[in-house]
Amino acid sequence: MALFVVRHQHDADRCPAGDPDMGATLLNYLSRPQVKRHGVEIQGEAIVQGEHTLYLIVESSDEERVREFMQPFGEAGTVDVYPASTCARVVASGGCAAPMPVVDDVVAAMDPEDACQRAIEAGLVVHRAHPLNCETSIPALIGGVVMPNAHFYVRNHFQIPDLDPATWRLEVGGLVERPLRLSLRDLRSMRSKTMVVTLECAGNGRSMLDPPVPGEKWGVGAVSTAEWTGVPLVEVLDRAGVTSGARDVLFRGADGGRVDGGAEPIRFERSLSLDDARDSEALLAYAMNGEALPIQHGYPLRVVVPGWYSVTSVKWLTDIEAIGSQFRGYFQGEKYVYRWDDDGQGATEPVTLQRVRALITDPGAQEQVERGDIAIRGVAWSGAAPIARVEVSIGGGPWQEASLVGSRNRHSWQLWELITRLDQPGATTLRARAKDLAGRTQPEEPAWNRLGYGNNSVQEVPIAIR
């Protein structure tokens, strides 16, 4: 179906709405059941007050059907039909006059416009329409332990694969005694495990770095928590029988495309050392919050590695390969490493565990708060250990310890709150910092690095007391 904008104009003395009977006939003609008989679907309508101009946004298979439908209006005035697009499609294309981006033929992919529109309707904060990247809004972080699937942040490097679960298979090979080819049904028949795990993009908070660095300018909402269900990775590795020569376990997703400096398309690949693969409690997840994985989160199967930045939790998983050397692919050797020098030629450090962090979710930035008792709430997490304590400072004052809500969690965020009293009206700033049971704490200022990863500096939230 194509989208069109239709404009109809008529003279004041020929206004059909001036006659009650003609006005009723007009409403009936524009009714949704009537319109569908003409092969047209009206998405929106508006009349410019006092100008005798009608605008319609319609969908139809072709322009001729639209003109045929509008013929009665043509008898009363002029009719103009314009091929149109949606805002999501235009932004994904890169401009009003630009064609839709060419989707690499690595794999069948979801329509970028549809993917972006879903994210907008879910209330996500879109950073890029194609490939789709959007963070969870801070208000959506308030309340529950898990994030509803539609509100969970989305991070992509390429298009979103649209895989057929009937023909999809997980290939397990390389340095194994028994190569496997598993269907989704095979995996569902194996021993399953359910875990509540927080995933965070390694670039979360990148927009706060100074000087600025390349990459998605994430705020602090590229983090979410879900209940994941799947097969423990060790079950599959043991079934395949990893041989003694294996060093790394390589995960390959169906998503792929071209990257800077590359002549040919590549697939998204990441690895874990064999020891980390066995000790990390990694899941091959096929369900999210009790439902099949949504397409934007890796359907039909993804890796979930608790405690690690989510780049390791490869989506749309198609291959697991045991290899005899350290993997140095693009998304592990060129990207997702800490580079501390300006020219990127010095020593590097791999992006692995999530750094300890606390976020204030309530009150929100710039919110006006009534004087008196106030509840300051948020979430905190760490990839190294459960949260030990969270502290809050108000207006640069002393740090006050907040209460942890519920039991300490190993792999998911910790809810916390501080009930205090604010009597002095005016602007002030809330700050929160966390410490985990491994003794890790948050720095006061961001630790600048060339690719903008791992910023876990203390958050500041300006509010106004009235």
Residue-wise DSSP of 349-381? EE--BPPPEEEEEESPTT-EE-SEEEEEEEEEE
Q: What is the third-level CATH fold of 149-350?
A: Sulfite Oxidase; Chain A, domain 2 (3.90.420)
pLDDT digit string, tens, across residues 176-234? 999 999 999 999 999 999 999 999 999 999 999 999 999 999 999 999 999 999 999 99
- pLDDT reported for residue 105: 60
Beta carbons of 213 and 206 less than 8 angstroms apart: yes
Model confidence at 368, pLDDT cuts 50, 70, 90, reads: very high
Task: Give the bridge partners for 427, in sequence order.
Answer: 464
Task: Report the predicted TM-score, pTM, of the whole model to 2 decimal places.
Answer: 0.90
- pLDDT reported for residue 88: 87
pLDDT digit string, tens, across residues 319-341? 999 999 999 999 999 999 999 87
- Domain residue spans in the chain? 2-83, 149-350, 357-465
4 pLDDT more than 90: yes
Ramachandran class of 28: left when φ > 0, alpha when ψ lies in -120 to 50, beta otherwise:
alpha
Q: Does domain 2-83 have CATH number 3.30.70.1060?
A: yes
Task: Determine the length of the chain.
Answer: 466
- pLDDT reported for residue 342: 66
Tokens of 385: 């250990």
Model confidence at 19, pLDDT cuts 50, 70, 90, reads: confident
- pLDDT reported for residue 26: 86
CA distance 288 to 227: 6
Determine the Cα angle at 295 with ends 263 and 316, to 5°. Answer: 50
Which amino acid is residue 412, in one-letter code? Answer: S
9 pLDDT more than 80: yes
Span 357-465 CATH architecture: Sandwich (2.60)
pLDDT digit string, tens, across residues 67-78? 999 998 998 899
104 pLDDT more than 70: no
344 pLDDT more than 60: no
Ramachandran class of 94: left when φ > 0, alpha when ψ lies in -120 to 50, beta otherwise:
left
Task: Give the bridge partners for 374, in sequence order.
Answer: 420
Question: pLDDT over 70 for what percent of the chain?
Answer: 98
Tokens of 262: 């590359």
Tokens of 389: 């304590």
